[in-house]
Chain A
Amino acid sequence: MNSRFRITRWHVMGWIFLATLLFFAVAPMVWMLITSFKSQFAALKYPPELIPQNPNLEQYERLLSPKNDVGRQFLRYMLNSIWVSTATTVFGVAVAVPAAYAFARFRFPGRKALFFSVLFRNMFPAVVFLMPLFIMMRWMGLVNTYTSLIITYLTFGLPLSIWLLKGFYDNIPVELEQAARIDGCTRFQAFYMVVMPLSAPGIIATAIYSFITAWNEYVYALTFLNDDEKLTLPVGLQRFFAEYATNWPGLMAASFIMSVPVVVMFLILQKYFVRALTEGAVKA
C-alpha cells in the first residue's frame, strides 16, 4: 500500500528529467528577456553579461512610443495583427460551431466522407497551398488585403476546430435537447440555449487556437501582403531584423512584446485547451 508514496528510483529520474527539460524550455525565453533589457552596446560584449549591468527599458520605450518612427511602425503592425487575428477568430468560430454540431448530431448521407475530407486538409502543407492561393487571390484582386489572410487562416483552422468541437457535442446527451424541444423550444433555440452553454469550454478552446494561429502565422502574411503599412507582426519582425540587423536587444524586446498576448491568453485558458484535447483528441 505505501509503495504508492515511496520515493523510487523512477521518481528521482523523473524529477531530474523534468528539471532539465524545464531549463531547456525556459532558458531561451529568459535570455530573450535579459537581452531586451540591455543597451545595444552592452549586448555586443564578449563574453556576454549573464546579468545586465545597466538594465534599462530603452528598447521597450522606443517600440511602444508612437512618437518615433520605429514605435509608430511597430504599433501599426500590432494593430494589424490584432485586427486579422480577431476577425479570423470570430468568423472561424461562427463557421465551425454549426458544422461540428451537424457532424456530431445529424445522419445526413455523405457525413462521414465530408468529415474525413475536413480532416484530410490537415495533411496538406500550408506552403503547398500558397502558390495556387496566391494566384487565385491575385485574380480576385485580393492580394495585399486582409480579406485574403482572414479567409485563408479561417479555413486552415477549421479542421481542428470542427474536430475538437465535435468531441464536445458528441458528449452532450441528445436527451437534453429533446427535453428542451418538448418544452416548446425550436431546434435552433434548443441549440442556442442548451447546447451552446454546455460547449462553451470547447468554443473558448477553439477561439484561442484560432487567435494564436492567426497571430503567429508567417508564410501567408509574407506572401499576400506587400504594403509596408499592412504587415502583421511576424513579417514586421523580419522587416525590423533586415533594417536594424545589429540591434539584438530591440529585436528581443519586439519578440517579447509579441509573445505576451498569446502566452498570457494561453496560460489563463490552458485548462480549456487541455480539456478540449482530452474530449476531442482522445475520444474522437
Chain B
Amino acid sequence: MSKTHRSEPSTRGFFGRIADHRLDYLYILPALGVMMLVIAYPIYYTVYLSFFRTPPSLAMQDKIFNGIDNYITILTAESFHEVTINTMVWTFWSTFMAMILGLGAALVLNREFVGRGVLRGLLLIPYVISAVAASYIWRWIYHSDFGVLGAILLQLGLIDDKLNLLDNVDLVLPSLIVVNVWKEFPFAMIMILAGLQTVPDQLLNAARVDGAGAFERFRHVTLPHLKGVLVITVLLLFVANLNHFTIPWIMTGGGPAGASDIWITQIYQIAFGRIRFGIASAYSVILFGVMVVIGYFYVKALTGDDDRRHG
C-alpha cells in the first residue's frame, strides 16, 4: 500500500510509473470525472455539430452533414463584421478600464490607514452582487424617462434633453461597458492588492533612501514585482469579458439594431432563439479558436515558474 506513494524516481517505464502511483489518481478521480462529463464531451460535441445542418427542433435527429457551410454562413453574414467590432470594443475597453481603476484603487489601499478594511469591503460589493441585479439597477439609473442619471445631468445643465442611453446606437455600448467595469474593477483591485503584498518593503525603503520619488519607486520597484499578477489579471478579465453574456442580454438584448450585440449574445440568439444549433456550434468553435490562442498564453503566464520550483 504505502509503497505506491514513494516519491523517489522509479526506474520503470511510463505505465509502470502510472501503476506505482495508481492510488494518487483516486484523489483527482471525482474532479476528473465531472470535468470529463461537463467539459470534454461538450467540446467534442460542439465541434462535431458545427459540421451539420440541424433542423429547428431540439431533438438532434435528421441533421445533415454540410461540411464547412456553417462557417461560411457565419463569416459572410452581413452582421458578422459589426458584431466582431462590438465584441472587440466591449472586451478591450472593459478590460482596460477595469485594470486602470483596479490598479489605482489597489495602490491607494495598499497604504495603512484607519478604515482601510471597510473601504475595501465597500469597493468589493459590486463584484459580489448578481449580474442580473446589477443590470436592473443600471437600467433603472439609465431609464430614459425616470432615470436619476439623466435627471441630474439635466439639472446641472450638462445636457439639454432627456438622456436616452440604451436606445442610442452610439451610446449603448459605452453605457454597457460602464456597467461591466463597475461590476469587475473590484476583481482587478483585489488581485493587484494581493500582488502588492509581495513587494518587499526593504526594496521600497532602499529606493527611498536612494532618493527615488514616488513615481520612480512605482516604476522600478513595484511594477516589476507586479508584472505576473497584472498579466494574469488582464488575461482573466479579457476572457471573462469576451464571454460576458448577462449584462448585454438583460440590459438591451443586443439592441438597438444590433448596436450592442456581441459574439456571445449572437450565439445564444442563434441557438435558443432561432434553434439553429449547427450554426451556433460553428460560431462557438470560432470563439474557441480565439480562446485557445489566448489560453495558451494564459496557462504559460500562470504556471511559468512552476517547473523550476517542482523540478
List residues of chain A with CB under 8 Å of any chain B CB.
Answer: 3-4, 8, 10, 14-15, 17-18, 21-22, 24-26, 28-29, 31-32, 35, 43-48, 50, 94-96, 98-99, 101-103, 106-110, 112, 114-133, 135-136, 138, 151-152, 154-156, 158, 162, 187, 212, 215-216, 218-219, 223, 233-235, 237-238, 241, 248, 251-252, 255, 258-259, 262-263, 266-267, 270, 273-274, 277-278, 281-284
CA A73 to CA B103, docked complex, whole Å: 42
Shortest distance between the CB of A158 and any CB in chain B (Å): 6
A-B contact pairs, 9 of them (CB 8 A): A46-B146, A106-B24, A110-B18, A112-B306, A130-B268, A233-B130, A252-B136, A252-B140, A262-B130
Name 19 extra pairs, CB < 8 A, besides A106-B24, A129-B46, A155-B37: A10-B215, A17-B105, A44-B145, A96-B31, A107-B7, A109-B21, A118-B31, A131-B42, A131-B284, A132-B45, A151-B37, A155-B35, A219-B268, A234-B133, A255-B137, A258-B133, A263-B129, A281-B194, A282-B195
A114-B28, A127-B268 known; A216-B130 Cβ under 8 A: yes
A123-B292, A267-B121 known; A277-B32 Cβ under 8 A: no
B25-46 vs A, CB cutoff 8 Å, 1 = contact: the mask equals 1111011101101110111011
Q: Are the C-beta atoms of A212 and B128 separated by less than 8 Å? A: yes
A18-B108, A32-B137, A35-B140 known; A218-B41 Cβ under 8 A: no
Which residues of B are found within 8 Å of A28, using beta-carbon distances? Answer: 126, 134, 137-138, 141, 182
CA A31 to CA B126, docked complex, whole Å: 13
B119 within 8 A of A: yes
Number of interface residues of B (CB under 8 A): 106
B291 within 8 A of A: yes
B293-311 vs A, CB cutoff 8 Å, 1 = contact: the mask equals 0110011001100100000
Q: Which of A101, A123, A133, A263 contacts B125 (CB 8 A)?
A: A263
Q: Which of A131, A156, A259 contacts B271 (CB 8 A)?
A: A131
Q: Is the interface of B mostly helix, strand, loop or mixed?
A: helix
Q: Are the C-beta atoms of B108 and A108 separated by less than 8 Å? A: no
Q: Which of A29, A48, A129, A233 contacts B39 (CB 8 A)?
A: A129
CA A281 to CA B194, docked complex, whole Å: 8
Which residues of B are found within 8 Å of A22, using beta-carbon distances? Answer: 119, 122-123
Q: Is the interface of A mostly helix, strand, loop or mixed?
A: helix
Q: Which of A44, A131, A187, A233 contacts B281 (CB 8 A)?
A: A131
Q: Are the C-beta atoms of A238 and B132 separated by less than 8 Å? A: yes
Q: Are the C-beta atoms of B303 and A121 separated by less than 8 Å? A: no
Return the chain B residue nearest A28 by Cβ. Answer: B137
Shortest distance between the CB of B55 and any CB in chain A (Å): 13
Which residues of A are found within 8 Å of B277, using beta-carbon distances? Answer: 131, 135
From B70-78, B164-172, B237-245, the one touching the partner chain is B237-245
Q: Are the C-beta atoms of B42 and A18 separated by less than 8 Å? A: no
Q: Are the C-beta atoms of B27 and A116 separated by less than 8 Å? A: no
Q: Are the C-beta atoms of B30 and A98 separated by less than 8 Å? A: yes
Pick from A107, A152, A234, A238 the residue with the most CB of B within 10 Å. A107
Q: Are the C-beta atoms of A284 and B302 separated by less than 8 Å? A: yes
Q: Are the C-beta atoms of B246 and A218 separated by less than 8 Å? A: yes
Which residues of A are found within 8 Å of B190, using beta-carbon distances? Answer: 273-274, 277
